Amino acid sequence: MRHLGWILAALAFFVLACLVVAWPALRELRDHHPTRITQAETPVGTLRGLRFQIEAARFTVLPQIPDRAVALIRLHIEGEPKEMAQWLGCSVSITDDQGRRWLSLYNELGLEIARLLGDQARPGPNCRQLLASAGQGTADETFVLPVEALDGLRLEIWDQAGLPDALSLPLRPVMRPPP
């Protein structure tokens, strides 16, 4: 019986130590996602001194993966260089009316989607690249998401320096035939 008491005490201290160590990591994880989201009614909005406008929302379903849609979102960004310099990165995601979130792609697949759905021979910069160069203009963001999620979509934009604030713009997909 005495050993059982020591085992229970050791287990309680172990759980307490895990909570003490994990608490900062859990707070950091929570703090890296937007929680105060301003929902715009039009595809134009302002966040932290920058104006964002969805210029195009091109979607297609490829025959090779009929349950997934690929998307190219062309986002026009303008603002003063002083405000652009204060942005720490630029994160873009698509959310649906069920609360699911899809982050934009920053890899070779994203470049291929931009080439496939874009009207330029060379894909444009994404939001991070555009703001890092303190330039104004158009950013191309690419996504892969389930076909059943194409209703009730919104585009969310935020940066790490401005968290927990974010901007949410309504997204109206324009379906294109596969190439």
Residue whose token pair is 């994880």: 29
- The confidence score (pLDDT) of residue 14 equals 83
DSSP assignment string, 49-103: TEEEEEEEEEEEE-TTSTTEEEEEEEEEEEE-HHHHHH----EEEEE-TT--EEE
Measured distance CA(154)–CA(94) in Å, rounded: 6
- The confidence score (pLDDT) of residue 127 equals 85
pLDDT (tens place) for every residue of the chain, 179 residues total: 678 888 888 888 888 887 777 777 666 655 666 778 888 999 999 998 899 999 999 999 989 999 999 999 999 999 888 888 888 888 899 999 898 999 999 888 888 888 888 877 677 888 888 887 777 788 899 999 999 999 899 999 988 777 788 899 999 999 988 87
**pTM of this prediction?**
0.78
- The confidence score (pLDDT) of residue 21 equals 79
Written out in words, the top-level CATH class of the domain with range 37-175 is mainly beta
